[in-house]
């Protein structure tokens, strides 16, 4: 049996991006139900930024290999897996492990990726696309003619939310720094400067009767201002706590505080809804349903990419060995779209 080697990026502990390690090792043979995936592209998301400082909810103990999502080609199969999968391209949401030249993935987690979609383009909508799609249609349940607010409209999830909403005939108000306002306008949203202390007042002026949904990854104290933007029947979807990323202390506490506040608001008899979006909700209790839903939603997103209705914004592409630079750029908050790590050429 031939030995498969892999090159991995290891997060050894709470370090600066430059502290990431590059290591080579031999992969074990895939077990029953598993495949070996040759990475073509993997993403840099906010999750990895939080993991770097030990602030991501339920992250594993250090050291580990980051990498939330990946697109690649199956090059090996374990017992019970159709050998016909070899040579075919798939996407998977791995949570960790994607920053590697080869990795072992559960075959049940694979979602087909059309050959005519570039791997970097595809990976830019795996985590971001599924998150945006599910928040729009499964959580907020938006519809044509609605008005929504997207905080961080220039980011990976934010820019995807804007495009999906505009494609569905929904008006979007998007927050971003002033340098990204032209790009946000090109996406079809009305930009508002998130550095402006009067940002929420500006949004109220644009939608004096309130909005139908707010998508808030910031968390912290301003989540109350997001709640106040809603009209009756509207929904606040919180999906992060970026405002507290660099605060010391328990990594789970900021998320739990936001979650608790949302649950209280959701119980109020005022016709508005609030919830915290968790990508992994339901996987432990109903794994088959979770996987089917993920595959259905990602397939819908990839169809929009293939049709030209959704254009993922790739901020930059870095080879695997330069993962430290990729993470540093993603954390700089100066980019539009997603930073992507690609296989060595």
**What are the residue ranges spanned by the domains of the chain?**
4-125+281-342, 140-276
3-class secondary-structure state, position 54: coil
206-217 pLDDT, tens per residue?
999 999 999 999
Task: Report pLDDT for 1.
Answer: 47
Which residue stretches of 40-187 are H helix?
Answer: 46-52, 119-123, 127-133, 156-167, 181-187
Tokens of 70: 């990946």
- In the CATH hierarchy, which fold is given to the domain comprising 140-276? Rossmann fold (3.40.50)
Query: What pLDDT, on a 0 to 100 scale, did the predictor assign at position 249?
Result: 61
**What is the reported pLDDT for 178?**
95
Q: What is the pLDDT of residue 333?
A: 81
Under 8 Å between Cβ of 192 and 148: no
pLDDT of residue 270: 85
Say which CATH superfamily domain 4-125+281-342 falls into: Medium-chain alcohol dehydrogenases, catalytic domain (3.90.180.10)
DSSP string, 262-331: HHHHHHSSSS-EEEE--TTTTTTT-HHHHHHHHHHHHHHHHHHHHHTS----EEEEEEGGGHHHHHHHHH
Query: For 239-263, what is each residue's pLDDT tens digit?
Result: 987 766 666 666 567 677 887 888 8
Residue pair 36/100 in contact by the 8 Å Cβ criterion: no
Using alpha carbons, select from 90, 44, 32 the residue that is nearest to residue 324.
44
Hey, what are 168's tokens?
Answer: 């569905």
Contact status, residue 188 vs residue 162, Cβ threshold 8 Å: yes
Cα-based distances in Å from 156 to 9, 151, 279: 22, 11, 15
Contact between 79 and 35 under an 8 Å Cβ cutoff? The reply is no
Tokens of 316: 């930059």
- Whether the pTM exceeds 0.85: the reply is yes
Q: Give pLDDT, residue 55.
A: 84
**Can you tell me the distance from the alpha carbon of 233 to that of 307, in angstroms, rounded to the nearest whole number?**
32
Do domains 4-125+281-342 and 140-276 share one topology? The answer is no
Low-confidence ranges of the chain (pLDDT < 50): 1
């Amino acid at each position: 049996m031939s030995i498969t080697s892999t090159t991995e990026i290891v997060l050894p502990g709470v370090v600066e991006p430059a502290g990431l390690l590059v290591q080579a090792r031999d992969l074990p043979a895939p077990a029953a139900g598993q495949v070996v995936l040759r990475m073509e592209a993997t993403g840099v998301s906010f999750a990895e930024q939080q993991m770097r400082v030990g602030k991501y909810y339920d992250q594993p103990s250090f050291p580990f290999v980051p990498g939330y999502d990946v697109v690649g080609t199956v090059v090996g199969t374990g017992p019970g897996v159709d050998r016909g999968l070899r040579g075919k391209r798939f996407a998977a949401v791995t949570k960790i492990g994607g920053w590697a030249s080869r990795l072992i993935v559960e075959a049940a987690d694979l979602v087909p990726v059309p050959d005519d979609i570039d791997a970097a383009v595809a990976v830019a909508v795996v985590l971001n696309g599924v998150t945006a799609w599910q928040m729009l249609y499964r959580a907020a349940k938006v519809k044509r003619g609605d008005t929504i607010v997207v905080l961080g409209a220039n980011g990976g999830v934010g820019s995807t939310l804007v495009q999906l909403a505009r494609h569905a005939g929904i008006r979007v108000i998007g927050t971003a720094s002033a340098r990204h306002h032209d790009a946000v306008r090109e996406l079809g949203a009305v930009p508002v400067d998130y550095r402006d202390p009067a940002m929420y007042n500006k949004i109220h002026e644009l939608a004096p009767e309130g909005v139908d949904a707010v998508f808030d990854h910031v968390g912290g104290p301003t989540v109350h201002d997001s709640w106040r933007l809603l009209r009756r029947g509207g929904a606040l979807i919180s999906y992060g706590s970026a405002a507290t990323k660099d605060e010391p202390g328990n990594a789970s506490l900021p998320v739990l505080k936001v979650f608790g506040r949302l649950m209280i608001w959701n119980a109020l008899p005022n016709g508005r809804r609030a919830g915290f979006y968790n990508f992994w909700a339901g996987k432990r209790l109903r794994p088959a349903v979770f996987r089917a839903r993920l595959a259905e939603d990602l397939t819908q997103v990839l169809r929009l990419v293939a049709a030209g209705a959704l254009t993922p914004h790739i901020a930059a592409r870095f080879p695997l060995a330069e993962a430290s630079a990729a993470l540093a750029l993603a954390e700089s908050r100066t980019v539009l779209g997603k930073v992507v790590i690609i296989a060595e050429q």
